[in-house]
Amino acid sequence: MSTNKLKPIGDVLHTDNAGFLIKNVSQETFYLPLKPLIDGLIKIAQSVFKSRLHSVYIRGSVAKGTFVPNISDLDSVFVVETEPSDDEFEEFKKEIKDINKKYPYVIGIEKNIQTVDQLVNSKSPIYKYQTVCVYGKDLTKDLPKIKPGKESVVHLEKIINSIDESLPKISKESEPHWIKHWSIWMCKQLIRSCHELIAEDLQQFARDIYPCYFATSKKWPENELLLRRVAEIAVFGTENKTELLDITRKMRGFLKPKIAEFYRQ
């Protein structure tokens, strides 16, 4: 049993009187101590993509000002005019990895690259409501408003396929570092998918792990222990492959009928 305990931190997006989600990040909420790192990321993107770099966005705990050293990562979105070449992408990854070494308390830097068209046509609430533009023209201001429910789904449509593709890969993995990395990635998807099932009823949208766990454990108290462990792994990870496989299979059984019912409604 893990000795790591969840802490009641994190928040949710609420809705306005018309039922649309309300943005909760801005330049005022930004975690300023990481500005030198972000300036470095912008310089890397400018060097690699040159004039094709359109804009850069930060989301997650850094955008909200809730960054926790040695636990949080840095979620970034780089928008380019055209798709990068393989060579550009490899160079970009290498430069990002190198700069991350200078900030060891940042556990990772997400390298999300989108074209302008991809971002403009995206229906994800993440871009509309959870990003702060730190370079270029802010495209998210013109994205359509979103209501919680089917409109705000990020993981739910693909979570079962994600589980089915991941289980055999996890089974074959023997490196503890990668098992832990995989466990965090998978359990984040799992607990967020659970919350997406009840977002419309709650009139809110959440990606932070504790609020997702708290709301879903209240909805399904008979599964509280399972949901809590999923949330713990989403935050702290596990190197126990047997436990990860067991929990992932249990969550598949839990989610599949609920997803079917969700899309029948």
Q: Give the whole-number percent of the chain exceeding pLDDT 70.
A: 99
Q: Residue 9 above 90 pLDDT?
A: no
Q: Give the whole-number percent of the chain exceeding pLDDT 90.
A: 88
CB atoms under 10 Å from CB of 12, counted, come to: 20
Of 81, 79, 30, 32, nearest to 57 by C-alpha is: 79
Q: Helix/strand/coil (H, E, C) string of 222-234? A: HHHHHHHHHHHHH
Would you state the pLDDT for residue 123?
Answer: 86
pLDDT band at 3 (very low <50, low <70, confident <90, very high): low
Q: Are residues 157 and 259 in the same domain?
A: yes
Q: Are residues 158 and 238 in the same domain?
A: yes
Q: Are residues 190 and 106 in the same domain?
A: no
The domain boundary residue, chosen from 99, 121, 142: 142
Question: Going by DSSP bridges, is the β-strand pair 131-136/53-59 parallel, antiparallel, or unpaired?
Answer: antiparallel
Does residue 55 contact residue 118 with C-beta atoms inside 8 Å?
A: no
Q: Are residues 119 and 158 in the same domain?
A: no
The domain boundary residue, chosen from 142, 169, 188: 142
Q: List, for residues 92-147, the tens digit of each pLDDT value.
A: 999 999 999 999 999 889 889 999 999 999 889 999 999 999 999 999 999 999 99
Assess if residue 11 is contained within a domain: no
Assess if residue 25 is contained within a domain: no
Q: Are residues 127 and 48 in the same domain?
A: yes
- pTM of the complete model beyond 0.95: no
Task: Spell out the long-range contacts of 172-180 with Cβ–Cβ below 8 A and sequence spacing 24 or more.
Answer: 173/241, 176/239, 177/239, 179/238, 179/239, 179/240, 179/241, 179/244, 180/237, 180/238, 180/239
Give the count of domains, the chain: 2
The domain boundary residue, chosen from 142, 176, 201: 142
Would you state the pLDDT for residue 1?
Answer: 47
First-to-last C-alpha distance (Å) of the chain: 38
Assess if residue 12 is contained within a domain: no
Q: List, for residues 199-210, the tens digit of each pLDDT value.
A: 999 999 999 999
Task: Spell out the long-range contacts of 159-166 with Cβ–Cβ below 8 A and sequence spacing 24 or more.
Answer: 159/189, 159/190, 159/193, 159/255, 159/259, 160/252, 160/255, 160/256, 160/259, 162/186, 162/189, 163/248, 163/251, 163/252, 164/252, 166/248
Range of the domain at 43: 32-142
Does residue 2 contact residue 231 with C-beta atoms inside 8 Å?
A: no
Does residue 184 contact residue 230 with C-beta atoms inside 8 Å?
A: no
